[in-house]
Amino acid sequence: MPDDDARADLPMTLTLKGGPTVARLGFGAMRIAGAGVWGPPRDEAEAIAVLRRAVELGVNFIDTADSYGPGVSESLIAKALYPYPTGLLITSKGGFVRPGPGSWAVDCRPEQLRHVCEESLERLRLDRIELYQLHTVDHRMSIEESLGALVELQREGKIGHIGVSNVSAGELARARAVAEIVSVQNAYKPRGR
């Protein structure tokens, strides 16, 4: 593990290859939806205030997904922040569907990914999502097939950059053979805790 001096040398910003620069600390918008990441929040005004305050404090990277709510997180972001300030990067993800509160199912079929990306564009009031991530891997098909849909959306200008989430090292290698992957969003848990 790096010592404190080594961590202090980390840049405070990250730049996507050929893209925007964002602060290292962003805002994950999963929990602005209701209980179980389902439906609207108990207090919509409070959720909107939190989003606005985050941006006031310098957050310029907000991460969401179509499955948060579903659709609630993206709608709240647009309601709170549209028209978006210059330099604010809003990212989204597709690949999970929501049968009910606290319940998550995987669907990374190309036609599903296209559908949810286009819905995200509409909810977020964007013509292009600068960074769009495959939210998970659907083991009923190859990751290459799922990412192929995102590559097509990128060619159409609806996605700027492609990322992946919840992948193994092997899946990441396969993803990189299909698309230029600029972000990996995985959960990490310290050992022994």
The per-residue pLDDT for range 71-112, each reduced to its tens digit, is: 999 999 999 999 999 999 999 999 999 999 989 999 999 999
Instruction: Determine the 3-state secondary structure of 139 from DSSP.
Output: coil
What's the whole-model pTM score? 0.90
Res. 29 pLDDT band, cuts 50 70 90: very high
Which residue in 73, 76, 112, 85 sits closest to 96, CA to CA? 112
Give residue for tokens 């960074």: 131
What's residue 191's pLDDT? 59
Q: How far apart are CA 183 and CA 174, in angstroms?
A: 14
CB 67 within 8 A of CB 77: no
The yes-or-no verdict on residue 192 having pLDDT over 70 is no
Helix or strand run (H / E) with residue 160? strand 159-165
The yes-or-no verdict on residue 119 having pLDDT over 80 is yes
For the annotated catalytic residues, the residue numbers are 68
Q: How far apart are CA 89 and CA 80, in angstroms?
A: 14
Q: How far apart are CA 73 and CA 40, in angstroms?
A: 8
